[in-house]
C-alpha cells in the first residue's frame, strides 16, 4: 500500500490493515510504552490531540479506554477489551470508537519482535467489512500513526538515556 520513511502500511486482505515500524529499543521497553497509561499520554496521537484520559486493565478480559481532546474542546474516545496478552510479545484487543465513524468493531493485534536490540512492531487491524477498512484508509489514520510513532521513538530514546 504505502511506505513512509519508517512506517510501512499494507492491506493483505479486503478487511485488514497492517502497519509495521522498527524502533531502536528493546522489546520490553516498547511494550511498556504501549501499555502504560502515563507513557501512552506522552506519545499517542498528534500533539494537538493529547490523550486526556487513558485507562488500561492489561489482562485477558480487561478493558481499556482512551479519550483525546482536540481543537475547540472536541473529544474523541475509543476503547475495547483485551482478548490476549503475552508480555512483552503480543496483545490482541477489540477496538470501537464512541463516534462510530466506521461500522462495527475492529480486532487489533500488536506483535513485538526483537532482534539485535531493535524492536519491530507489527499491528494488524481487522475490520468487519471492506467498506469499514476503506473508510479508515481514506482517513488521516496513517499520518496520525506516523506522528505517534515518531513521538514514541523520541520517548524511547529519552528513556534509554536515563
**Model pLDDT for residues 98-151, shown as the tens digit of each residue:** 987 777 899 999 999 999 999 999 999 999 999 999 999 999 999 999 999 999
Strand partners, 112: 121
Q: Are 85 and 34 in contact (CB under 8 A)?
A: no
Look-up: residue for cell 474516545?
77
Which 8-state DSSP code applies to residue 36?
Answer: -
What is the spatial distance between Cα 156 and Cα 159, in angstroms, rounded to a whole number? 5
Q: In the prediction, which pLDDT does 100 show? A: 74
Domain 2-45+87-161: top CATH class: alpha beta
Pairing verdict, β 16-23 and 51-56: unpaired
Pairing verdict, β 16-23 and 8-10: antiparallel
**Of 99, 47, 44, 43, the residue nearest 75 (C-alpha):** 99
Q: Is 45 left (phi over 0), alpha (psi -120 to 50) or beta?
A: left
What is the spatial distance between Cα 149 and Cα 9, in angstroms, rounded to a whole number? 13
Q: In the prediction, which pLDDT does 59 show? A: 98
Angle between helices 141-161 and 130-137 (to 10 degrees): 70
Report the number of secondary-structure helices (H) and strands (E) in the chain.
4, 9
Residue 153 binned pLDDT confidence (cut-offs 50, 70, 90):
very high
The arithmetic mean of pLDDT across residues 16-31, rounded, is: 98
Look-up: residue for cell 467489512?
129
Phi, psi of 144 (to 5 degrees): -65, -40
Residue 162 binned pLDDT confidence (cut-offs 50, 70, 90):
low
Q: In the prediction, which pLDDT does 4 show? A: 52
Percent pLDDT > 90 in the chain is 88
Amino acid at each position: 500500500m504505502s511506505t513512509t520513511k519508517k512506517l510501512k502500511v499494507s492491506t493483505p486482505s479486503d478487511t485488514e490493515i497492517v502497519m509495521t515500524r522498527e524502533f531502536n529499543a528493546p522489546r520490553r521497553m516498547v511494550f511498556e510504552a504501549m501499555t502504560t497509561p502515563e507513557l501512552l499520554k506522552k506519545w499517542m496521537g498528534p500533539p494537538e490531540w493529547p490523550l486526556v484520559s487513558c485507562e488500561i486493565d492489561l489482562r485477558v478480559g480487561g478493558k481499556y479506554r482512551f479519550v483525546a481532546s482536540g481543537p475547540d474542546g472536541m473529544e474523541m474516545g475509543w476503547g475495547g477489551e483485551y482478548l490476549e496478552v503475552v508480555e512483552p510479545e503480543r496483545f490482541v484487543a477489540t477496538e470501537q470508537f464512541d463516534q462510530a465513524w466506521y461500522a462495527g468493531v475492529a480486532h487489533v493485534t500488536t506483535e513485538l519482535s526483537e532482534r539485535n536490540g531493535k524492536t519491530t512492531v507489527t499491528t494488524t487491524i481487522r475490520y468487519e467489512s471492506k467498506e469499514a477498512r476503506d473508510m479508515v484508509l481514506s482517513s488521516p489514520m496513517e499520518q496520525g500513526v506516523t506522528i505517534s510513532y515518531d513521538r514514541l521513538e523520541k520517548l524511547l530514546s529519552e528513556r534509554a538515556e536515563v
